[in-house]
Structure 1
């Protein structure tokens, strides 16, 4: 869109900056994540015909969601777990069946193969409020899903939750907000802000200076993981969503050069117990 800052092409893992100014990993610490200036990633799925429910229904059903290609994540802020997602923890439903599970104030995530996850706030009466195409909209859940399967994701973030009435009010008050008036870079940041009310989900909600307080752990296998550091939660969310869009197989390929036996001790660590702080660098 003409009034938005042009998107930045994201770097591969081999190009991600390290703590060393010369670009070399010299210790066992995590790598530093890339800061994003602006990206409206939820618009990228508009070019995918499966997002609109076009084509052969049986073929689309097979492309909708690949559980085996979904990554597991844990996010820590100064040692405290603030996000934890394990593949298969939450059941996936068709949009019609999801309606029977939702209560006002719930967060809903729509997922499909090779697409960014799309988040929405269920506000009752079969409707959701969500950020889509640079505007906060109030749509029927089945329309907002664009044929994708969905799940309720109230518990992946570990922040204190607002009461359902406040969540719905936060969402409804923003309907119609668009373009430069938006305070969120994607649908997940907007929906999470509605439920938790935390400034960390807003654009510029945290100052990006000094030490990176967020640790983003990507679980690659039962005993291997890769960790990145970020200065802000919104930057971390952008990277998480990028990984979800490309899928586990592509992430493993990006990290292949960091997973060989010679470098295994540098970036592959055992997964901590749920909600436990990461081991020291």
Structure 2
């Protein structure tokens, strides 16, 4: 998509926003999340110039409680600055299964955390933060879907390994039977 098309898309999303809406900023393999508080402002858990990951040594990207992630902070920023060149989506998709708090309470919760420092990719990321504000639940569908994918992939690999092992055993038994005759 061209930058004009992205801008047009984001403007359409922006005009439909209400205070307390969750925003998902698509950034390739992951999404950044923020909470719309009105007047072109969002509150989100972010690093100085990014989503909380900062200039992290890639070897620490999956650290469970690495000190390198502590530079992220809950902050208030301009919607357009956070959006940059990324596609933005209003994403209150969990409203169908969880009860949303009233907009004024959502914003109050978010504002109460301004300046809080800390980030954890698995347990306390930007998505956990905004869902806590809106639903009083720290959840991350991204983390859960990656974890499920890893678990399913591991289970499939284990089954394939067992089937291959059993298959090799039956071949050995077939060879033994043929050599006996």
TM-score range, shorter chain: 0.5 to 0.7
Q: Of 13, 37, 50, which residue of structure 2 is paired with 1:123?
A: 37
State the partner residue of 2:102: 163
| 3-state SS of 2:93 partner | coil
Change (3 A) 1:97 1:239: same
How much is the aligned-residue C-alpha RMSD, in angstroms?
3.6
Task: Show the 5 A alignment for 1:35-184.
Answer: 58=2, 94-114=9-29, 116-133=30-47, 134-156=72-94, 158-179=97-118
Change (3 A) 1:238 1:253: closer
| 3-state SS of 2:20 partner | coil
Going by fraction, where is helix more abundant, 1 or 2?
2
> For 1:101 and 1:187, how far apart are their aligned partners in 2?
22
| 3-state SS of 1:193 partner | helix
Runs of 4+ deviating beyond 3 Å: 252-260
**How far does residue 154 in structure 1 lie from its aligned partner after superposition?**
1.2
**How far does residue 237 in structure 1 lie from its aligned partner after superposition?**
4.8
State the partner residue of 2:143: 238
State the partner residue of 1:189: 128
> For 1:108 and 1:253, how far apart are their aligned partners in 2?
30
Any conservation in 2 of the 1:94–1:148 contact (CA below 8 Å)? Answer: no
> For 2:76 and 2:106, how far apart are their aligned partners in 1?
14
State the partner residue of 1:36: none
Gaps of 5+ in 1: 1-56, 65-92, 202-232, 264-281
| 3-state SS of 2:94 partner | coil
Superposition TM-score, scaled by structure 1 size: 0.39
Superposition TM-score, scaled by structure 2 size: 0.58
Any conservation in 2 of the 1:123–1:129 contact (CA below 8 Å)? Answer: yes
Number of matched pairs: 131
Gaps of 5+ in 2: 48-71, 164-181
Q: In the TM superposition, what whole-angstrom CA distance separates every residue of 1:139-172 from its partner, at most 9, and x where no partner exists? A: 1111112321111111335211100100011111
**How far does residue 94 in structure 1 lie from its aligned partner after superposition?**
3.1
Any conservation in 2 of the 1:121–1:129 contact (CA below 8 Å)? Answer: yes
| 3-state SS of 2:76 partner | strand
